[in-house]
Amino acid sequence: MGPSSDYTPFELNNDNTIGGYARLAGFIKQMKELHETHGAVLVLDAGDYSMGTPFGAATRETSGELQLMARMSYDSITFGNYQFDLVATGLGEEIGLAAKTGFIVPILATEIH
Q: Read off the pLDDT of residues 66-99 as tens digits, 9 standing for 90 and up.
A: 888 999 999 999 988 878 887 888 888 888 988 9
Number of domains in the chain: 2
53 shares its domain with 99: yes
Higher pLDDT, residue 4 or 11: 11
Q: Could you tell me the pTM of the whole model? A: 0.72
Dump pLDDT digits (tens) for 16-38.
Answer: 666 678 888 999 999 999 998 99
Range of the structural domain that residue 28 is part of: 1-36
State the Cα–Cα distance between residues 34 and 105, nearest whole angstrom: 23
For residue 40, what pLDDT is reported? Answer: 86
CB 78 within 8 A of CB 45: yes
Q: What's residue 53's pLDDT?
A: 64
Would residue 13 be called left, alpha or beta, if left means φ above 0 and alpha means ψ between -120 and 50 degrees?
left
Question: Residue 3 in contact with residue 17, Cβ under 8 Å?
Answer: yes
Same domain, 7 and 26: yes
User: Do residues 24 and 72 make contact, with C-beta atoms less than 8 angstroms apart?
Assistant: yes
Are the CB atoms for 74 and 43 separated by under 8 Å? Answer: yes
* Together in a domain, 72 and 91: yes
pLDDT at 1: 43
